[in-house]
Structure 1
């Protein structure tokens, strides 16, 4: 797979700068009333994350020739949904966590009520952005809105979190664990890939199916790697509380399969994903590099 003119590190830096600039510019100002809510929204969305989902959006958009302005909009909307989900996941009624991205969680800094509202309003703002005037045509806007809404709903991220919360201290077989993570984590990862592609030239059914499968695989790879790192790393390395799933007796790939089997499953999914990406040709170079990061990341 030939490397494009812009190497991966420069490309990823440029993409992250684009989405950060979009967020900084278009989020409500910290002094705009209600200031405390807008400060909490900005705190959650602008905190120093890896921007994995926006990078996936940019990488798949490269395959279909999408322009950077459209991809900046789509990826910023995706990042708002991701940020809202983290704010809510960390609440005492959910995962009850105090550390996120290496800093206090939103409810620790602003209180539970404001954190709850910040998550709510980040979610609605994502769809407001996608529906506003842009270079996207109406058909593309509808595709993006539908895809993001579907990935966030009861059959996506929200439903996956519900399964997770109702199985604390309960047994879970591997099939349900996979379904939970395909919804909770994988749905938004798959949506990120599809939304980036939808910003460019129309997809053939075959290419769309390949991208969907890559998205599903990467969602599981991401979660298996998370479970492995959670069992092996410390909080300072991860930027979030290490070992919290084990402490709460929540089912994970490591707890169900064991460390070695979970690692083997990750490697098998990675091999299948890399083969699928190779079918997309040289334009999928950035998607390949990102997929390899999913497999080899250390935090």
Structure 2
């Protein structure tokens, strides 16, 4: 299996679906629709929606049954990025090589675009629940996504991250931030897709653990790239964490240990996926390797 070909294939599936969701545009509120589309269609890895449909496929499910949940997940992720970039939060000017949403549409519209994407994601998932006769699998998948994106998950991690700026935080607090702010939606993507695909409890737990490992490693790699990355490849300025005096994995443990631990998480995630008796698990093993070496 060529991972790049596989990622491109599933990314194209996601992109095509995302381009088709805004049917009515000539409305009085069209400015917010333009703002939503600006960020939603600005590229990116589409990692979370790909994980959602691939985990569904891994356990023997039909990816067509998971595709709408996958785009809902991408909407939630995109809303979080729009809000992350706001002056009140990370105050970033660029995202994926483009001006951030509030730089193009002003803060008020950017805030409302993020709110709208979150609400639209809920609408899409509810529609799928109804269309599938209130299937328990769809309800459980939606519940996992909603909890993971709320104050007990991603938002909780963001709150502690903000409150930790200009402070020395301990290893436990940093893990809480990384686990909730970054890893939680990755875990939820894998688990939700697996639930829709009819996974067993054991399979769900394995995918949850795998998601935790690649989610934490994703953030460690981000912290490393903020120091040694290429701003052109990253699509944003490097050194932003240092400028805001944020505690990172590298600032606590040093670069050498950060790299060692990154590789450790790669090994853990690989070993987890080897427990699946399926050739589809090779995608996830290759992905873990890719994420530890990514340059953007």
Relative to the length of structure 1, the TM-score reads 0.94
CA distance in structure 1 between the partners assigned to 2:287 and 2:133 by the alignment: 25
CA distance in structure 1 between the partners assigned to 2:181 and 2:140 by the alignment: 21
Tell me the equivalent position of 2:149: 152
Q: Does 1:255 align with 2:248?
A: no
Deviations 1:2-38 (A, max 9, x none): x5xxx43333222111111111111354433311000
Q: Does 1:218 align with 2:214?
A: yes
CA distance in structure 1 between the partners assigned to 2:115 and 2:145 by the alignment: 15
Aligned-partner SS, 1:287: helix
CA distance in structure 2 between the partners assigned to 1:82 and 1:160 by the alignment: 14
1:36-47 aligned at under 5 Å gives the runs 36-47=31-42
Gaps of 5+ in 1: none
Q: Does 1:273 align with 2:274?
A: no
Aligned-partner SS, 1:47: coil
Gaps of 5+ in 2: none
Give the paired residue count.
293
Residue from 4, 9, 27 that aligns with 1:14: 9
CA distance in structure 2 between the partners assigned to 1:136 and 1:192 by the alignment: 22
RMSD: 1.5
Residue from 60, 76, 79 that aligns with 1:81: 76
CA distance in structure 2 between the partners assigned to 1:95 and 1:157 by the alignment: 15
CA distance in structure 1 between the partners assigned to 2:157 and 2:95 by the alignment: 20
Q: Does 1:33 align with 2:37?
A: no
Tell me the equivalent position of 1:183: 180
Tell me the equivalent position of 1:283: 280
* CA apart distance, 1:99: 0.3
Q: Does 1:48 align with 2:43?
A: yes
Q: Does 1:128 align with 2:116?
A: no
Which has the larger displacement, 245-254 or 51-60? 51-60
Q: Does 1:297 align with 2:291?
A: no
CA distance in structure 2 between the partners assigned to 1:260 and 1:128 by the alignment: 45
Structure 1's 42 and 29: CA in aligned 2 closer, same or farther, altered over 3 A? farther
Tell me the equivalent position of 2:260: 264
CA distance in structure 2 between the partners assigned to 1:55 and 1:227 by the alignment: 23
Deviations 1:52-102 (A, max 9, x none): 111211221121122222232121011000000000000000111110011
Structure 1's 80 and 213: CA in aligned 2 closer, same or farther, altered over 3 A? same
CA distance in structure 2 between the partners assigned to 1:191 and 1:122 by the alignment: 18
Deviations 1:172-201 (A, max 9, x none): 111110111100001000001111112212
